[in-house]
Amino acid sequence: MSENAVVVCTFEPGREGLPEGAEEILHIGRGLATALSAPLHWLILGPLPDRASATAGHYGVSSLQQMEDPKLLPSNADACVAALSGYCSDQAPQAVLLHQTLDARIVAPRVAGRLNKAVVMNGISIEPNGENLQLTASAYGGDTRVIYEVGPGPILSFIANAAVPDPSEGDPVSVENISCDLSEITERIEIIEQARFDGPRLDDAEIIVSGGRGLGSVDNYPLIEQLAEAMGGLAGASRPLVDEGWVDSSHQVGLTGRITRPNLYVAIGISGASQHMAGCSAAKTLVAINRDEDAAIFQYARYGLVGDALELIPELIRAVRDR
């Protein structure tokens, strides 16, 4: 049944002309489709992102498909589930791959539940294994990797944060409209108050300076903010600081917080628990500052400074400003 496609599904408009994680998930989809000698389809639920056609060409998408309906917004889970389930029933894809967003985390399992298909989250890589697919996923907050064997037509969600190699050249792909009838769908969840965050987001930051429990006291967190500002970056935090109410959760980096991929990540007073590393291990350069030279964070770091954060941070601010 090799004519059945590997389908990448996105349903977020994204901010820079592409849905968040689109290139990463298309790269994974391309790899799987090639291994299966299957076509790669890209299904877009809702409005077409600006760069969709060109990007589809770059990643060897053979069919760019769009389901359009005013109801198809990422937050409209009932509409998205109905649309994607209907699509899967008609087209019987070999696998549906999604980039793991908060909304995908609801839509993927609900579609799988409706269709009685396999579903796996936190995917990192995938390959065929005989008749089945074999997916490597993160578990225990990143402490371990698990390999799952899944049956036909699974719905799979990936934490696709590895760097994508430059895509090959390819001609833009034209858009094929797939009809869907959502007239019967009424969303059961009503948004009373929309999340409003107008500041810069950690997800997009090029430089992040994060503080952890090693700072000792909430009174020392402003040092992190000052260093972040001096470096032209944003301030982040590990989960204990959020749980203890030192900073609000929009600053939390980690598995249950923001998954970031900055050029530079400076971790100060952070031990390097996997739950945190899941949110920053994609950083191009990681600098660790910790008083304990055996702290796990140094295993991930490019540069390490062993010492007292409260003494080091003011010196770092001075050194940045000096240069």
Partner 1 sequence: MRIVVCVKEVMDPDAVNNYAVAGRLEIGEDGKTLTQTAIPRLMNGYDEQAIEAALRLRDEGADFTLAVISAGSDPEKMLKHAAALGAQELVAIQVDPESLDQQAFARLLAAQIETMGGADLVLCGRQASDDDQGVVPALIGEQLNMPVITVARAVALLDNQVRVTRVTSDGDQVVAAACPAVVTISNELGDPRYPSAAAKVKARRIKPTVVQPSDLGLSPEDIAPRVMLTRQFVPEVQGNCEFIQGEVAQMADSLIERLKADSIL
Report the Cα–Cα distance between both ends of the chain, in Å, rounded.
Answer: 61
Nearer to partner 1, 34 or 318 (CB): 318
Work out whether 285 is an interface residue with partner 1 (CB under 8 A): yes
Residues 6+ apart with CB under 8 A from 192: none
Tell me the C-alpha distance between 161 and 164, whole Å.
9
Binding mask 17-56 for partner 1 (x = CB under 8 A): ----------------------------------------
Dig out the tokens for 225 from the structure: 């903010």
Sign for the pseudo-dihedral over CA of 61, 15, 106, 203: positive
Does residue 286 contact residue 209 with C-beta atoms inside 8 Å? no
Residue range at the interface with partner 1 (CB under 8 A); choices 25-33, 89-97, 213-221, 312-320? 312-320
Tell me the C-alpha distance between 299 and 130, whole Å.
36
Work out whether 287 is an interface residue with partner 1 (CB under 8 A): yes
CB of 237 to partner 1, least distance (A): 13
Work out whether 292 is an interface residue with partner 1 (CB under 8 A): no
- Site for partner 1, residues 189 to 208, rule: CB under 8 A: 189-197, 201, 203, 207
Tell me the C-alpha distance between 21 and 40, whole Å.
17
Does residue 74 contact residue 185 with C-beta atoms inside 8 Å? no
Interface residue with partner 1, options 50, 127, 243, 292 (CB under 8 A): 243
Work out whether 162 is an interface residue with partner 1 (CB under 8 A): no
Interface residue with partner 1, options 98, 118, 178, 253 (CB under 8 A): 118
Nearer to partner 1, 176 or 292 (CB): 292
Work out whether 264 is an interface residue with partner 1 (CB under 8 A): yes
Tell me the C-alpha distance between 286 and 275, whole Å.
16
Provide the residue type at 97 as one letter. Answer: L
Interface residue with partner 1, options 127, 171, 222, 284 (CB under 8 A): 284
Residue range at the interface with partner 1 (CB under 8 A); choices 45-53, 114-122, 163-171, 213-221? 114-122
Does residue 96 contact residue 68 with C-beta atoms inside 8 Å? no
